[in-house]
Each structure stands twice: as C-alpha cells, then as structure tokens.
Structure 1
Amino acid sequence: MGKKIGAVTIGQSPRIDVVPEITGLIGRVELVEGGALDGLAYEEITALAPQAGDYVLVTRLADGRSVKIAEKYILARLQAQIDRLVSEGAEGILMLCSGEFPPFSCPKPLLYPQVLLTNFIGAVAGGKKLGIITPDKDQIPQVTKRWSATGVRAVAAAAGSPYGAEENIWQAAAALKASEVELIVMDCIGFTQHMKDKVAEITGVPVVLPRTVAARAVAELFG
C-alpha cells in the first residue's frame, strides 16, 4: 500500500478537475481530499466575496461553478481540513491552490504549490521576461507583485479562467505572446495539461503548470 496524503482545496471537494490528473503522476500515493468550502451552501459562499484590498482567490465548487472569495474568510476552514486529514492518518498535506498563504499548523510535511513554483521559477527564469496567466483580472496586481520578486527581468500578466470559456485562456496566451514573454506560468491549480499544451502551441515558449510541479514533488517525497 502507498502512503496517504491529504489534498486540501480552497473550494469544494472532490476536485474531479484536478485530482485525477495529479494521481496519474504520483504512483501508489493515495490522495484523500478536503475542501475549505465543503458543507457550505452557495449563498453562504457568495458572502465570502472579496472587498477592496482583500487577497483574491478563485476556485471551483463541487457542482462545477466558479467562485471568487477573499482568502481571509477561509483560513480557519483550511486549518480545520488540515487537522482532520492528519488525524485520519495523512502523512503529508498538499494544498490544491497556487495562491499565497500564511503558515498553517501541521505536524506533517505541508506542500504549497506557490512555494514550489516560486523556487522553481527563481532557478530557471533569472533575467527572462515572465508571463503569467491568472484566472481573474482582479488578481493581476497581486500576481504581478509576487512574480516580480523572483529575479525575472519583467512580468506581464493576463486573465483567463480554467473554470470558464477556454477561448479566454487562448486570448490571454496571445496577449502574452504579443508582450514577448520568454516563459509562462499558468498560475492556478485548475489549469490542465491540455490547456498548457495549447498555450505552449500559441506562444512558442515553455509553460509551467502548478499541478504537475506539485505532483512531481509529492511523488519525490512520498512515492
């Protein structure tokens, strides 16, 4: 039997749009899911919408709908899911989100895709112009600030959600191509391998996908 790892989404579980693709890369490791918005009605979730100055997150509900929430409203619920999964035997936790988070309490290894991505891009993209595709236009200021601190020459960002019409992603890719970026990060766990392949085809530059970077880290540590 493989090791059991908790997979915590900022939305609702199960993440049928994410976990199967990750599972294909982690061998015998078992992912057990939990979500910050599990058990909440849609009306309760819409009350978590961001206001001016909030850190904006975009995620998926179990019924496939996309929602925009403020990070501050779900931190305690994320901690509760981490605690539950560890108590049920998880030997590590993978956050299913590429956003920035404050430290959570966890006695087991806790993998943040954003940290993995930041260090990876810092290692391979020094001096290059970096392109970012983020789900929502309201996230552009925060991702531009974050990625500008990784040692790249410049950052260009465009919005296209993995939870909406794919044409918006292709338009974002075309905008980044016009900006002459040299490397692209698709900055959301919801982006798929199919979307990555298409963006690479449109732009002709390397594309980095959070879910596959995270999956390979899980495989290395727990596989």
Structure 2
Amino acid sequence: MPSVKIGAVTVGQAPRVDVTADILPLLPGVELLERGGLDGLTREDIAAFQPEEGDYVLVSRLTDGSSVTFAEKYVLPRLQNAITELEDAGCRLILFFCTGDFPDTFQSRVPLLFPGRVLKGMAPAISSRKTAIVNPSPLQKDQSLEKWKLYLQEPVSFAVSPYEGEAGVRQCARQVAETDCDMVILDCIGYTQKMKEIFQEETGKRVILPRTLLARVAMELL
C-alpha cells in the first residue's frame, strides 16, 4: 500500500529534524515533505527580518541547529510559496510547524492544520484556573498574553528557548512549579517530548506539547 503524502511548513528552515524525531513515530504510513519560510537564506539575509515595535515576533530553527528571531510579516509570502510547492508535490494535508497566529490569507487546495488553533480550542476545556504559557523569547510575552487572555481565565507568561539546551528548560519548569497554575502549555513547536517530561517531573502539572498534539490530530484527518 503506497504511503500518504502530507506536507509540513516551518517558519524557519527545513528539514526540522528536531520536530520529526518526535512526530514521525505517530504518523505511520506517512511520507512527510517539508518546506521552510527561511529556506535558502543566510543568517545575514535573515538579519534584515529583525522585528520592530508592533511586529508579530516569531522564533524558529535553522538547519545548523541555531535559532533566529524575526518578524512574521517578512516570511508570509515565502510561506505561501511553501504551501503551493507542497500542494503541487501531491500532499493531501499540510501541517504548520509553528504555534504562532497567522492571518487568514493563505491560499490552499488542501487543509492547513495550525497547532495554535488546535491549542486554542483544546486548552479552555481542561484549564480552570491559572495556566502557564511558555514561549521561546521574552519578546513574545505581550503578544502571548494578548492571545491567551481571550481563551483562558488567567494566563501567566514564561520564557525559555527550546533551542539552547535542557538546563534552562528545567530552571523554567521549577519557576512554574512555584505557581498555582493548573496546566502548562509549551507554546512553540520547538519544545520536545523530553522537555515535556521535564516540566511534568518538576511541576506535577498537566503539560500540553504542540508537536505531538499536531501529529495526533493529523492522523484523524487521514
């Protein structure tokens, strides 16, 4: 039986081997094709995409394993190109490897699955008090709280990069453990299964990991 082709779009550079290490075991019989909004660009090119006041901020990974911070507006046309390429390659579903908010302007002949939208539908059903929202950068604090206060009773923002090792993640988890939050949302596709386990170990709270949630929802649509 031939495998099913699905696509994945990262706002950074593809392939996202850090993400697929956790999700491919959850996608049996699937051929995953990847494209990125920063594909083909050098770090010098990306430096021109630095966010200014009022910009929507994204953080993502490059193929060399490092991370970059940039304004969403610069990659939107490139993300559309990635979608079109994946459609033309025969993908029947396209996953977004980013939990950020995106405008409803992308054109696609196949379903686009945004983990951020899945999270916003799921989280209010299982959190009744304060919720810890963990983002990669302090620059995302205001936009994160602005988003989540529409869906959660009392979101509390924390920041730790998933791209700089597990020591910082454990330190952040210990900070969350000192709060009375009843759930943790790791609000970036870059957080790993191991990082989820660190938060569970340190906090004893429910922890939602977007990358594995995304894969499980995708399987329902195939």
Q: TM-score, normalised by structure 2?
A: 0.96
- Residue 8 of structure 1 corresponds to 9
1:142 deviates by 0.9
Match of 1:121 among 120, 123, 130: 123
Distance in 2, Cα, partners of 1:167 & 1:153: 30
Distance in 2, Cα, partners of 1:20 & 1:167: 20
Q: Give secondary structure in 1 for the equivalent of 2:17.
A: coil
Distance in 1, Cα, partners of 2:79 & 2:186: 23
1:167 deviates by 1.9
Q: What does the per-residue CA deviation read over 1:93-145, in whole Å, with 9 as the maximum and x for residues that have no partner? A: 100001000121111011000001110112222x3210011000010111111
Q: What does the per-residue CA deviation read over 1:156-204, in whole Å, with 9 as the maximum and x for residues that have no partner? A: 1111110013222222222222221100000000100000001111011
Distance in 1, Cα, partners of 2:46 & 2:196: 29
Alignment of 1:120-159 (within 5 A): 120-125=122-127, 127-150=128-151, 152-159=152-159
- Residue 38 of structure 2 corresponds to 37
Alignment of 1:1-223 (within 5 A): 1-103=2-104, 104-125=106-127, 127-150=128-151, 152-222=152-222
Structure 1 consecutive aligned stretches of length 4 or more whose deviation exceeds 3 Å: none
Distance in 1, Cα, partners of 2:163 & 2:100: 16
Q: TM-score, normalised by structure 1?
A: 0.96
Q: Give secondary structure in 1 for the equivalent of 2:84.
A: helix
Percent identity between the two aligned chains = 44
| Number of positions where the alignment pairs a residue of Structure 1 with one of Structure 2 | 220
Letter matched to residue 141 of structure 1: D
Letter matched to residue 78 of structure 2: R
Which ranges of structure 2 fall in alignment gaps of 5 or more residues? none
Letter matched to residue 218 of structure 2: V
Which ranges of structure 1 fall in alignment gaps of 5 or more residues? none
